[in-house]
Structure 1
Amino acid sequence: MLLVECRNLKKSYGDRLILDIENLCVYDQDRIGIVGVNGAGKTTLLNLLSQRIEPDEGWVKLYGKCSCISQLEPPEEEAIQQEIASKFKVPQIYHTSMSGGEKTRFKLAAGLSQNNTIIFADEPTSNMDIEGIQLVENSFAKFSGALVLISHDRDLLDSLCTKIIEIEEGKIKIYSGNYSEYIKQKTGERELAQFEYEQYVKEKKRLERVIISTREKVKSMRKNPRRMGNSEARLHKMGSQKAKANLDRTVKNVESRIQHLEVKEKPSKIEKIKLDIGDVQKLYNKVIIEGKELNKSFGEKVIFKNAQFHLEKGVKAGLIGPNGCGKTTLLKMILNQEPPIKIAPNVRIGYFSQELSILEENMSILDNVMAESVYGESFVRILLARLLFKGDSVYKKVRILSGGERVKVSFAKIICSDFNLLILDEPTNYLDLNSLEVVEEVLGEYEHSLLFVSHDRRFINSVANQIMTIEDHKIKTFKGSYEEYMASRTKVRDREKEQIEEEILLLETRLTEVISRISMPSKKDDPELLEAEYREILGQIRRLKNLLE
């Protein structure tokens, strides 16, 4: 069933044409992810399709009702039912004092509770911890209507989407499959474009060689051979003129073929980023950060209680845990070297946070990064180009940059400076998918130590070789990737599930005995005690079954 239809759609802001779409339809079973660089027009397209804004040209028809979930706007409903509020762990009434994660959960709950035929979701995992992201994923997976989604969470796009719409220079292109399939198709397109370009260059050079050799033949025909009489010379000249005319025609035909060759543009080369860290201060201690018997509270809220941890040289540790558990607090304790945290000699910490500006507003992008860089300008330009600051755009002043652009420049600056330990607090927020994957690639190449907080599961899995979690006011360490960490948790949960099921079975057996004795009590039985035991066992079974849900 057709839910959304648009034709000849155009939308501009000022002199810039943001979107120019000939035709787009959304059907009831569609699960669509919208991708593109920051500023490409993803949110604009979502707002046009949901009729929240009007196009400059063309039309949009929306058949049926829709729900809109936006990271920047309040929910469409400010009161929800108790049942769904409990499921999403939010109050029934929306209020502005909620945390970012609570607001996002409430908007999701409100959007899903309307039972509309289509949901438009703009960054629905914004400010969410990993548990919240999994809640979003599971809720959308169970939703029976159509879904149009903007997200920088690649696992979410892989799990939910059956189509990807790419926006580039105002135009859209639709790819079948999830995000990983889209990447495969894009890679295939680049490889085909490279092959076609090489074939074009090869054929053009071949034809040019034909022209050169033909012209050489023409030159060699201009001279008469020696020892030739006048009559022979005249005959030779007539033959030469005819042959020359044929060769000239050949040259013109080949030149025409070159002109009619379908020109193939050279695909832009993706430069690999190789970090050479030879000039950075080396560390000789095996353990570079250590904390024992950590205690931290804010009023009555306990963050750490007799916690301990250590970070070894060369480790890339991903710090995870639910919102409010103390991840950023731990990073700040390390930066401030709060006792009893100890930091090894020669450790030079580079710190990145969304709240902290390390850029000079009136300096250019290039000057900001070069100011403390241990790399030459050539490497810095390659890194900035991969982050989509190409050509003269590196001379833009920082003061005119968007939030996402500032994040990218800050990352470039910190990675190029002479630090040997990077501490990064949510480094991928506000990044488009291209830039996120560049950051991922660079940190994968980074050979020094790294401690970072992120809720992006694929990013954590790609970069981290150690997982640190904050649970019950303690810091736990798992040596291995995020995928390995989750597999180990699944095994633990499976063992716990088996134990709970065995316990339920024993209680149900005992419950059967108690019910039998209540219905036919002996002289030794106390009915009141049996009734109390019955209620106690029933309560225990109910609590254990809730743990299995």
Structure 2
Amino acid sequence: MLLLELKNIVKSAGDRCLFKIDDLKVYSKDRIGIVGSNGVGKTTLLKIMAGLMQPDGGKVVQHRSPSYIAQLDESYEQKDGMNPGIAQQFQIGMQYDKTMSGGEKTRYRLALAFSKDTAFLLADEPTANLDIKGNELVQQKLQDFQGAFVIVSHDRELLDMVCTSIWEIQEGEIKVYTGNYRQYLAKKEVKKAQQAREYENYLAEKKKLEAGAADRRQQAVTMRKTPSRMGNSEARLHKMGNQKAKANLDKAVKAMETRMSQLEIKDKPKSNPKVVFDLVNTDDLCSKMVLRTEGISKVFGSRRLYDQAEFSIGSGYKVALVGDNGCGKTTLMNMILSYPEGIYVAPKVRFGHFSQAIEGLDPGTSILANVMTDSIYDENFVRSLLAQLLFRRDDVYKKVAVLSGGERTRVALAQIMVSQANVLVLDEPTNYLDLPSLAALEAVLAEYKGTILFASHDRKFINSIATHLMLFDSGKLRLFSGNYEDYLQYKQEQKGDSAKEEQLLLEHRLAEVLSKLSVAKDRNSIEHLDKEYRELIVKLK
């Protein structure tokens, strides 16, 4: 069933064309993810589809009215139709309040959207400001959703698990890829490899033609020279005899030049330089343990965040702090940085701290100047790092004042990574980053040889970077060896072991009941045992 059509759509921002769409359709079972760099028009496209914004040209045909979940909308007001059960699932009240946190507002909008009986959903960053449990709940809701949806998201795990089609906005065009986000990336890599082969073939053919033309020009020059031993009459005969050959060579050169001019020019595929951190400043730690805690506690009012927590962080660990919103991840990082009683830090540790406020940048100077301020590396290394973080060529001379939030995040992280710091403490480093920037940051942190403590709700990012997890659970802190995927597998195995143990207990009790039934004579006892027998059979099914 056709739900929506986009025909000959054109949309611009000022004098810049955001995108042009010849013909795109959404059908009843479509599960579409829209991706692209910041500023390419993802939210704009979603608003056009929802009928909240008009295109500059073209036609939008809605065959079914969609439900729309906005990313941030302070004009949002209380609406009817909230399902109490779904509100409870999202841990949100029935009434909207403008004083809610960003995460609470997101959960409210999601709960209201999923409360409606809709067959078509549009969602802009549905996991924004949510913790991992919230992300997983949204994922489950979308997997169970029976209608069609189109989502804009920077959550790669979500795009992998729920999407069957990816729309990519790039350079004013929208390209459609079948499959989830991982399959989209694989197809992009295949295309990139094909472009590389075409570029190499183009260079080889161009070089061959240039060499052939140069060779024939040289032959023509050599033929034009009359040997010095010849007399005048011989020289005239030599010149006349070679005219045809010269003409043929000139013709061959022109033919090759024509072929060169007709060659389809192939651009070299873009690639980022790989940065390898030679962190000599990590070697002077002289300790296998970077920090340890003994019985630390933290209380806010009547709420205890953690009590008598003890853990040790080894040199080279990359520890992801994992827990619900408000569990105390940022608080713990600030405590570690301030060295209170109960926290012991190795003598030669030098912390590099990234906060959500993105402090420490001089807005009046360039990207390069900011990063070079406290760098222990030379400019060539810094420029290579910035290129890998998607600041290429003259981009490094942009003033920080004109940068977006995501760009400032990348600059601040680069500044920390090239400093004397040998332990990085990163509070939500993936905030404001688009998908290309996330991938770039992952590649850089994967090469970083120092110790990292970081808080993030991005499951894919945690899986790519973390060697350990710091789990915040009901006032307890626990260090787990492995990434988030390993932790989920561990929980599943524990759950399986518990289920097996419960089944054994039920089977044992069933045997006892059957034994008692076989000898029971009292009617009340028989009825009671028979009732328990039936209940046990149901539980064992």
TM-score (norm 1): 0.90
Count of aligned residue pairs for this structure pair: 533
Deviations 1:28-63 (A, max 9, x none): 111111111111111111111111111111121111
Deviations 1:336-378 (A, max 9, x none): 2122111121111111121241212222222111111111222
* Residue 243 (structure 2) aligns with: 241
Q: Taking structure 1 as reference, are residues 394 and 88 closer, same or farther at Cα in structure 2, changes over 3 Å only?
A: same
Query: 1:113 offset after TM fit, Å?
Result: 1.7
* Residue 35 (structure 1) aligns with: 35
CA contact (8 A) 2:282 2:450 kept: no
Deviations 1:273-332 (A, max 9, x none): 111212567201222211111221111111111221111111111111122222122111
For 1:223 and 1:356, the matched residues in 2 are separated by: 73
Query: 1:182 offset after TM fit, Å?
Result: 1.1
* Residue 6 (structure 2) aligns with: 6
Deviations 1:433-461 (A, max 9, x none): 11111111111111111111111111111
For 1:352 and 1:78, the matched residues in 2 are separated by: 41
For 1:78 and 1:319, the matched residues in 2 are separated by: 37
SS where residue 271 of structure 2 aligns? coil
SS where residue 174 of structure 1 aligns? strand
Deviations 1:379-424 (A, max 9, x none): 2222222323233332222222222121111111111111011111
Q: Taking structure 1 as reference, are residues 90 and 270 closer, same or farther at Cα in structure 2, changes over 3 Å only?
A: same
* Residue 45 (structure 2) aligns with: 45
Confirm or deny that 1:521 pairs with 2:518. Answer: no
For 2:191 and 2:475, the matched residues in 1 are separated by: 50
Query: 1:233 offset after TM fit, Å?
Result: 5.1
* Residue 144 (structure 1) aligns with: 146
Deviations 1:469-490 (A, max 9, x none): 0112111111223322221111
CA contact (8 A) 2:390 2:440 kept: no
SS where residue 431 of structure 1 aligns? coil
For residue 365 of structure 1, what is the amino acid of its counterpart? I
SS where residue 110 of structure 2 aligns? helix
For 1:297 and 1:187, the matched residues in 2 are separated by: 50
For residue 164 of structure 2, what is the amino acid of its counterpart? T
Q: Taking structure 1 as reference, are residues 229 and 344 closer, same or farther at Cα in structure 2, changes over 3 Å only?
A: closer
Query: 1:501 offset after TM fit, Å?
Result: 4.5
For 2:90 and 2:512, the matched residues in 1 are separated by: 35
CA contact (8 A) 2:358 2:409 kept: no
Q: Taking structure 1 as reference, are residues 79 and 339 closer, same or farther at Cα in structure 2, changes over 3 Å only?
A: farther
For 1:168 and 1:187, the matched residues in 2 are separated by: 16
TM-score (norm 2): 0.91
* Residue 16 (structure 2) aligns with: 16
CA contact (8 A) 1:364 1:398 kept: yes
Query: 1:72 offset after TM fit, Å?
Result: 0.5
SS where residue 267 of structure 1 aligns? coil
For residue 521 of structure 1, what is the amino acid of its counterpart? N
* Residue 206 (structure 1) aligns with: 208
* Residue 70 (structure 2) aligns with: 70
Query: 1:496 offset after TM fit, Å?
Result: 2.0
For 1:471 and 1:288, the matched residues in 2 are separated by: 23
Aligned partner (choices 304, 307, 323) of residue 305 of structure 1:
307
Taking the TM superposition and a 5 Å limit, the aligned residue runs for 1:315-354 are 315-354=317-356
SS where residue 521 of structure 1 aligns? helix
* Residue 98 (structure 1) aligns with: 100
Taking the TM superposition and a 5 Å limit, the aligned residue runs for 1:413-492 are 413-492=415-494
Query: 1:171 offset after TM fit, Å?
Result: 1.3
For 2:513 and 2:427, the matched residues in 1 are separated by: 52
For residue 524 of structure 2, what is the amino acid of its counterpart? P
Q: Taking structure 1 as reference, are residues 231 and 342 closer, same or farther at Cα in structure 2, changes over 3 Å only?
A: closer
CA contact (8 A) 2:12 2:19 kept: yes
Q: Mind listing any 5+ residue stretches in structure 1 that lack a counterpart?
A: none
Aligned partner (choices 382, 385, 390) of residue 384 of structure 2:
382
CA contact (8 A) 2:388 2:444 kept: no
CA contact (8 A) 1:308 1:474 kept: no
Query: 1:134 offset after TM fit, Å?
Result: 1.0
Query: 1:76 offset after TM fit, Å?
Result: 7.9
Query: 1:170 offset after TM fit, Å?
Result: 1.6
CA RMSD of aligned residues (A): 2.9
Q: Mind listing any 5+ residue stretches in structure 2 that lack a counterpart?
A: none
CA contact (8 A) 1:121 1:149 kept: yes
CA contact (8 A) 1:47 1:53 kept: yes
Q: Taking structure 1 as reference, are residues 194 and 67 closer, same or farther at Cα in structure 2, changes over 3 Å only?
A: same
Taking the TM superposition and a 5 Å limit, the aligned residue runs for 1:353-392 are 353-392=355-394
For residue 70 of structure 1, what is the amino acid of its counterpart? A
For 1:219 and 1:493, the matched residues in 2 are separated by: 85
CA contact (8 A) 1:78 1:93 kept: no
Query: 1:256 offset after TM fit, Å?
Result: 0.7
For 2:286 and 2:232, the matched residues in 1 are separated by: 94
Taking the TM superposition and a 5 Å limit, the aligned residue runs for 1:148-187 are 148-187=150-189
For residue 7 of structure 1, what is the amino acid of its counterpart? K
Aligned partner (choices 290, 296, 306) of residue 298 of structure 2:
296
Aligned partner (choices 233, 258, 261) of residue 260 of structure 2:
258
* Residue 275 (structure 2) aligns with: 273
Query: 1:505 offset after TM fit, Å?
Result: 6.4
For 1:31 and 1:508, the matched residues in 2 are separated by: 47
Deviations 1:75-96 (A, max 9, x none): 7846512122222222122222
Q: Which stretch shows the higher mean deviation, 145-154 or 67-76?
A: 67-76
Query: 1:334 offset after TM fit, Å?
Result: 0.9
For residue 67 of structure 1, what is the amino acid of its counterpart? S
For 1:248 and 1:442, the matched residues in 2 are separated by: 54
